[in-house]
């Protein structure tokens, strides 16, 4: 047992049943992880605030039992097997921005290398059910920020998060991406992001508060959001519903005095109701990457020119259709708006789709930006 | 004394001839019915006795035994009442045995001796054999539709007995009870906008393609489905007769002409049980909703809310056009050739424009999982329906009426039958190249779709069948399926998978 490092005990503590952020902080604030673990399993006498924890009904038993199942040896073994490093607050390697957080993560699990995160950091968040335009914006912004040397911080969720990461990874030697996730680092969620997850870990880092094997339970996402906010220097919201999870991150960021910026959306776009409300309440607006760079206090002169668009330009009456698709349309609406027959509209859409100008979801046609 | 009277009982949609044998002998007075009667049939003892007495005849104070032959087959319902009563009167020498030999009797008796209609008159009369059928007045048209040997009616047991004895003529039913009902079939002209869904209805009617409408609440899925029967041609005499038999056997009200000539429309609620849909609930194996929809439309609204077992029960009938219901004592094959029209929301919250869905991933995939799998595969047309714009509702034209569309449908069906010998939906995959050849551009389009993994092998064949129907509907009468037809057919394949919603995510 003596050959186990201190981190192994911290990792095991983080995985105990009924462990919370506050309880973990109380245990680890006073003594070394090794001693804290001894206290938690009842082998040592608790001191100070920690002794009050044991007054909580059943907590001592729960900890003792779960420590027997998930011992430090086992947790450490899992971490080593998956290549997960463990950072303990107060020990070397722990990220600076979280040190003085009002609700810090006492233990952090990292896949990849946090040492790559050296420059400025911008968070990009938004809804999982994003519109095509929201996804395009996320991809573009992620790409341009990475190209400008800004680390993109996001949550590896579906929709906006995933697109932001993809965008930042698409730049050959851009700034490394940083992801903050809610589940254990070996539990990929959502599953279709397995490849993206690996790529982010390879080029940047994936961070979680939860030890390996932890499932993505719903309550972990708001907790994740606070770390995401704390690790960002400016937080950009792309599409959020009126009561979306992104707004939790926004509040966490505001609590920490972090600048929140929002991308405005179309008024009829329900996925942008939350961001539009932010804009109305005076939140700075993001139209392109320069706005974020200004928010970070960086030089905003754009590097590089406009990217070349290889798609064949729409011709003739097709232009009219592309213009109409400034918002998502159904085939029925296109028939009504253009006066062309159903078959003709379908033919135009098929042509535009095969040329990469239009994308269809559930019978809705959306214009594709130049992001891909 | 002995009497043998011809009657019939019902199993599924088929009648079976039953000989009611009555034996009256000098012994302690009693009345027994043997020969596998069901509960209702056994209760005939009390009905028949009361009816005979209140019609003014005497009840023999002897041992009365009734045997329903063949005795191994289960007899159901009250349709044997009349035959039992007549049999007893014959055995008691009140009627001559010769007088009843040329008749078959079907009908229920009231305690006052009145004759009442029963379910399944049409199939039972068909099973009587070469005799004239005696049926209740109200069942006259139903019996006449099927009978080859003549039908006579009675209002009461007394009518029947007097006519048999030659004391009075058979009662003539009032001639004026036949009124042509004007059935209100919803018209397609009422639908504002929705050109895509209208086209889908037309294609479904012309090609016999099953159709699934996918759209948020209030987008008019039900309204569209109700207009489907109006687009279908009248039933052929053969189908019409089968449909009439099914309705009769199920005890569902028939039109006053008794013959079902229009395509039926059945819309069972999503709480319906599997037996209600597939059939076989009672001892007579009553036909279910899918058989009642034979030759017409079965509409399942809120498809995802039906229990999975019910939906699975539809698969075999969809494949074979009949449903085989088997129970421990009996089995029956019921007709079930229908056009399936279904409607569903894209997700629990109803969805809408991109980005407006509020469901979490778990809820959405749970919802879609109920639909997914083999049943979804049966739908040639999966049509996205959207809430019409305000403009469409206010200024949109009503569009063509059902009559105009039905004409095109009838012509396309004719073209298809001449070429395939069946509707386009039933073209075997091996014959597609011969019956639905593609022009080069259409071929290229489908190849791209397949390469991009947006079309499965099965989906490929479905698209080709639908495109064939679209080509048949075109006034040009083209033998080759054009690119425009394939493009249109691809619009009728909305994707219902939770993971493939977006391009990037």
| pLDDT by position in tens, chain A (length 372) | 457 898 999 999 999 988 999 899 888 888 889 989 998 888 888 888 888 888 888 888 999 999 988 899 999 999 999 999 999 998 888 998 888 888 999 999 999 999 898 889 999 999 998 998 999 999 999 999 999 999 999 999 999 999 999 999 999 888 999 999 999 999 998 989 999 999 999 999 999 999 999 999 999 999 999 999 999 999 999 999 988 889 999 999 998 989 999 999 989 888 999 999 999 998 999 998 888 988 888 866 555 555 567 788 888 888 889 888 888 899 988 988 888 999 999 999 988 988 888 888 888 898 887 544
Is A265 in the same domain as A336? no
B257: closest CA of chain A, how far (Å):
41
Q: List, for residues A159-183, the tens digit of each pLDDT value.
A: 999 999 999 999 988 899 999 999 9
Q: What is the pLDDT of residues A211-246, one digit of tens each?
A: 999 999 999 999 999 999 999 999 999 999 988 889
The reply to whether B166 and B261 lie within a common domain is no
Q: Does A131 sit within 8 Å of B354, measured CB to CB?
A: yes
Q: What is the CATH number of the domain that holds B294?
A: 3.40.50.300
CB contact under 8 A, A361 and B501: yes
**A77 and A219 together in one domain:** no
Same domain? A126 vs A254: yes
Residues contacting residue B155 through CB under 8 Å, at least 6 positions apart: B114, B115, B136, B137, B171
pLDDT, residue A370, reads 58
Chain A residue numbers with beta carbons less than 8 Å from the beta carbon of B346 are 362
d(CA B264, CA B145): 18
Question: Across the strands, what pairs with B23?
Answer: B2, B65
Separation of first and last alpha carbons in chain A: 53
Q: Is residue B26 part of a domain?
A: yes
Residues 6+ apart with CB under 8 A from B241: B145, B146, B259
Nearest CB among A135, A343, A364 relative to B505 is that of A135
Instruction: Please state, in angstroms and rounded to a whole number, the distance separating the CA atoms of residues A233 and B473.
Output: 62
Show the domain range for A361.
318-367
Same domain membership, residue A206 and residue A249? yes
Residues 6+ apart with CB under 8 A from A58: none
Give the per-residue pLDDT at A372: 41
Regarding whether A61 and A137 lie in a shared domain, the answer is: no
Q: Is residue B183 part of a domain?
A: no
User: Rounded CA gap, A160 and A236, in Å?
Assistant: 11
In a domain, A134, yes or no: yes
- Which chain B residues are within 8 Å of A131, Cβ to Cβ? 353-355
Measure B306 CA to nearest chain A CA, in Å. Answer: 22
Which among A129, A139, A328 has CB closest to B504? Answer: A139
From B177, B210, B240, the end of a domain falls on B177
Name the residue facing A336 among B385, B391, B501 (closest C-beta).
B391
Smallest Cβ–Cβ distance between B502 and the set A135, A336, A343 belongs to A135
Q: Are residues B154 and B266 in the same domain?
A: no
Shortest Cα distance, chain A CAs vs residue B226, angstroms: 20
Distance from CA of B298 to the nearest CA of A (A): 25
Q: Walk along chain B (505 residues) and give the pLDDT tens digit of each residue.
A: 899 999 999 999 999 999 999 999 999 999 999 998 988 889 999 999 999 999 999 999 999 999 998 988 889 889 999 999 999 999 999 999 999 999 999 999 999 999 999 999 999 999 998 999 999 998 988 998 888 899 999 999 999 999 999 999 999 877 655 556 666 788 888 888 888 999 999 999 999 999 999 988 888 899 999 999 999 999 999 999 999 999 999 988 888 788 898 999 999 999 999 999 999 887 788 999 999 999 999 999 999 889 888 988 898 898 888 999 888 878 889 999 999 999 998 888 877 777 777 777 778 778 877 776 778 888 999 999 988 777 667 766 667 899 999 999 999 999 999 999 999 999 999 999 999 999 999 999 999 888 888 888 888 999 999 999 999 998 766 789 999 999 999 999 887 654 444 333 3
Asked if residue A230 is part of any domain, the answer here is yes
| Cα A19 to Cα A14: distance, rounded to the nearest angstrom | 7
Please tell me whether residues B162 and B216 are part of one structural domain: no
Based on the domain organization, do A13 and A159 belong to the same domain? no
User: Quick check: is B238 in a domain?
Assistant: yes
Number of A/B CB contacts below 8 angstroms equals 118
**For residue B364, what are the domain limits?**
188-500
Complex ipTM more than 0.90, yes or no: no
Q: Which chain A residue's Cα is nearest to B195?
A: A332
User: Would you say residue B182 lies in a domain?
Assistant: no
A166·B391 Cβ contact <8 A? no
Q: CA nearest A158 in B: which residue?
A: B505
Min Cα–Cα distance to chain A from B488, Å: 6
CA-nearest residue to A192 within chain B is B499
**Angle at A32 (CA atoms; ends A27, A33), nearest 5 degrees:** 65
Spell out a b/e string for B402-422, using b for 16 or more CB atoms within 10 Å of the CB, else e.
beebbebbbebbebbeebbee
Are B386 and A271 inside 8 Å of each other by CB?
no
- B195/A335 touch (CB, cutoff 8 Å), yes or no: yes
Q: Are residues A28 and A175 in the same domain?
A: no
The dihedral through the CA atoms of B416, B417, B419, B423 has a sign that is: positive
The partner residue sitting opposite A192, judged by closest CB among B353, B487, B499, is: B499
Mutate: best of B220, B348, B355, partner A, most A CBs <10 A: B355
Q: Chain B: residue nearest A127 by CA?
A: B355
Residue B69 lies in a domain: yes
The two tokens of residue A94 are 């722990």
B349–chain A Cβ distance below 8 A for any pair: no
The answer to whether residue A220 is domain-embedded is yes
Q: Note whether B246 and B110 are same-domain residues.
A: no
Instruction: Kindly state whether residues A226 and A334 are assigned to the same domain.
Output: no
> Residue B56's pLDDT is what?
94
In chain B, which residue's Cα lies nearest the Cα of A348? Answer: B487
Number of CB atoms found within 10 A of residue A96's CB: 6
Chain B residue with Cα closest to A336 = B392
CATH code of the domain in which A172 resides:
3.40.50.450
Residues of B in contact with A217 (CB under 8 A): none
**What counts of helices (H) and strands (E) characterise chain B?**
23, 16
Chain A interface includes B354 (CB < 8 A): yes
For residues A167 and A127, membership in a common domain is answered with yes
Domain final residue pick, B146, B177, B208? B177
Per the CB < 8 A criterion, the answer to whether A336 and A107 are in contact is: no
Task: Check CB contact under 8 Å for A332 and B193.
Answer: yes
pTM for the model stands at 0.77
Do B294 and B416 reside in the same domain of the chain? yes
Answer whether residue B325 is part of any domain: yes
Number of domains in chain B: 2
Q: Same domain, yes or no, for B171 and B223?
A: no
Contacts of A366 in chain B (CB under 8 A): 354
* A163/B505 touch (CB, cutoff 8 Å), yes or no: yes
Burial string for A160-186 (b: 16+ CB within 10 Å, else e) reads bbbbbbbbbbebeebbbbbbbbbbbbb
- DSSP H helical ranges for A269-341: 273-280, 289-295, 318-324, 331-338
From chain B residues 451-490, the ones with a CB under 8 A of any chain A CB are 483-484, 487-488, 490
Q: What is the pLDDT of residue B191?
A: 85
Q: Select from B351, B355, B445 the Cβ nearest to the Cβ of A269.
A: B355
Of A256, A280, A295, the position where a domain reaches its end is A295
Cα–Cα distance for residue pair B127/B27, rounded to 1 Å: 35
Closest of B190, B4, B187, B175 to residue B87, by C-alpha = B4
B196 touching A (Cβ < 8 Å): yes
CB contact under 8 A, B392 and A158: no
Partner-chain contact A354 B448, CB within 8 Å: yes
Domain presence at residue B67: yes
Decide which of A82, A100, A131 is a domain's last residue.
Answer: A82
Q: Which of A140, A157, A276, A361 to mutate to test the interface with B (most CBs of B within 10 A)?
A: A361
Provide the 3-class DSSP secondary structure of residue A121.
strand
- Cβ of B354 and A359 within 8 Å? no
* CB distance A345 to A149 below 8 Å: no
DSSP codes of every residue in B229-284: HHHSPPPPHHHHHHHHHHHHHHTPPPPTTS---SPPEE---TT--HHHHHB--STT
Q: Which chain A residues have a beta carbon less than 8 Å from that of B356?
A: 269-271
Put simply, the answer to whether B352 touches A270 (Cβ < 8 Å) is: yes
**In-domain check, residue A77:** yes
Q: What's the token pair of residue B12?
A: 């599924």
Contact assignment for B488 to A166 by CB distance below 8 Å: no
In a domain, B279, yes or no: yes
Q: Of the residues B142, B177, B212, which one is the last residue of a structural domain?
A: B177
């Amino acid at each position: 047992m003596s050959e186990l490092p201190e981190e192994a005990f911290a990792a095991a503590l983080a995985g105990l049943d009924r462990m919370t952020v506050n309880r973990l902080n109380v245990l680890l604030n006073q003594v070394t992880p090794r001693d804290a673990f001894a206290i938690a399993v009842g082998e040592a006498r608790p001191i100070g605030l920690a002794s009050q924890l044991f007054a909580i009904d059943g907590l001592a038993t729960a900890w003792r039992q779960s420590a027997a199942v998930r011992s430090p040896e086992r947790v450490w073994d899992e971490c080593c097997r998956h290549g997960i490093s463990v950072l303990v607050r107060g020990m070397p390697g722990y990220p600076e921005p979280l040190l003085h957080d009002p609700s810090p993560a006492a233990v952090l699990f990292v896949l990849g290398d946090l040492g790559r995160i050296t420059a400025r950091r911008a968070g990009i968040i938004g809804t999982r059910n994003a519109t095509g335009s929201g996804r395009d914006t996320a991809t573009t912004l992620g790409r341009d920020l990475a190209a400008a040397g800004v680390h993109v911080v996001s949550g590896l969720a579906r929709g906006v998060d995933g697109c932001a990461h993809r965008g930042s990874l698409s730049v050959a030697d851009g700034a490394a991406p940083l992801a903050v996730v809610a589940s254990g680092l070996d539990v990929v969620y959502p599953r279709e992001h397995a490849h993206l997850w690996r790529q982010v870990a390879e080029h940047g880092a994936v961070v979680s508060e939860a030890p390996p094997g932890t499932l993505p339970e719903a309550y972990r996402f708001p907790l994740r959001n606070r770390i995401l906010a704390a690790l960002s220097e400016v937080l950009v919201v792309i599409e959020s519903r009126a009561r979306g999870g992104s707004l939790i991150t926004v509040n966490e960021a505001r609590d920490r005095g972090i600048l929140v910026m929002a991308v405005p959306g179309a008024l009829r776009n329900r996925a942008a109701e939350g961001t539009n409300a932010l804009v109305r309440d005076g939140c700075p607006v993001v139209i392109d990457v320069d706005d974020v760079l200004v928010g970070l206090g960086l030089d905003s002169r754009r590097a590089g020119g406009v990217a070349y668009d290889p798609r064949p330009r729409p011709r003739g009456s097709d232009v009219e259709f592309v213009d109409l698709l400034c918002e998502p349309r159904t085939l029925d609406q296109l028939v009504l708006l253009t006066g062309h027959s159903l078959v003709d509209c379908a033919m135009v859409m098929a042509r535009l789709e095969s040329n990469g100008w239009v994308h269809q979801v559930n019978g809705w046609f959306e214009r594709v930006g130049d992001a891909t | 004394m002995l009497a043998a009277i011809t009657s019939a009982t019902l199993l599924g949609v088929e009648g079976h001839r039953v000989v009611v044998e009555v034996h009256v002998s000098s012994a302690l007075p009693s009345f027994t019915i043997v020969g596998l009667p069901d509960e209702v049939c056994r209760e005939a003892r009390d009905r028949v006795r009361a009816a005979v007495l209140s019609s003014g005849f005497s009840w023999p104070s002897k041992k009365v035994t009734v045997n329903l032959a063949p005795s191994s087959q289960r007899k159901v319902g009250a349709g044997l009442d009349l035959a039992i009563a007549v049999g007893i009167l014959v055995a008691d020498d009140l009627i001559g045995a010769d007088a009843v030999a040329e008749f078959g009797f079907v009908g229920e008796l009231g305690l006052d001796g009145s004759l009442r209609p029963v379910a399944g008159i049409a199939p039972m009369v068909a099973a009587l054999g070469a005799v004239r059928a005696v049926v209740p007045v109200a069942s006259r048209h139903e019996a006449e539709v099927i009978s080859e040997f003549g039908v006579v009616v009675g209002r009461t047991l007394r009518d029947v007995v007097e006519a048999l004895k030659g004391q009075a003529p058979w009662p003539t039913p009032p001639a004026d009870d036949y009124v042509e009902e004007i059935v209100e079939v919803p018209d397609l002209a009422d639908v504002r906008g929705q050109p895509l869904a209208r086209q889908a209805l037309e294609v479904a009617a012309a090609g016999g393609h099953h159709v699934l409408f996918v759209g948020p609440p209030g987008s008019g899925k039900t309204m569209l489905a109700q207009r489907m029967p109006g687009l279908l041609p009248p039933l052929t005499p053969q189908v019409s007769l089968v449909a009439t038999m099914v309705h009769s056997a199920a005890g569902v009200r028939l039109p006053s002409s008794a013959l079902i000539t229009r395509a039926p429309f059945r819309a069972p609620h999503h709480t319906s049980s599997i037996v209600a849909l597939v059939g076989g609930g009672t001892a007579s194996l009553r036909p279910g909703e899918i058989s009642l929809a034979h030759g017409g439309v079965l509409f399942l609204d809120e498809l995802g809310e039906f229990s999975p077992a019910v939906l699975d029960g539809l698969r075999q009938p969809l494949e074979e056009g009949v449903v085989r219901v088997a129970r421990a004592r009996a089995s029956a094959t019921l007709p079930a050739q229908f056009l399936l029209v279904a409607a569903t929301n894209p997700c629990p919250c109803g969805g809408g424009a991109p980005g407006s869905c509020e469901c979490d991933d778990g809820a959405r995939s749970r919802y879609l999982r109920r639909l997914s799998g083999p049943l979804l595969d049966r739908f040639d047309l999966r049509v996205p329906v959207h809430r019409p714009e305000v403009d469409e509702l206010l200024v949109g034209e009503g569009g063509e009426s059902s009559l105009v569309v039905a004409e095109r449908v009838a012509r396309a069906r004719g073209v298809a039958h001449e070429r395939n010998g069946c509707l386009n939906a039933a073209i075997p995959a091996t014959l597609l190249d011969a019956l639905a050849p593609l022009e080069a551009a259409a071929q290229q389009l489908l190849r791209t779709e397949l390469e991009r993994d947006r079309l499965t092998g099965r989906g490929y064949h479905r698209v080709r069948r639908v495109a064939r129907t679209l080509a048949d509907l075109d006034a040009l009468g083209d033998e080759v399926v054009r690119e425009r037809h394939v493009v249109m057919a691809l619009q009728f394949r909305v994707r219902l998978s939770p993971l493939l919603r977006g391009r990037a995510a």
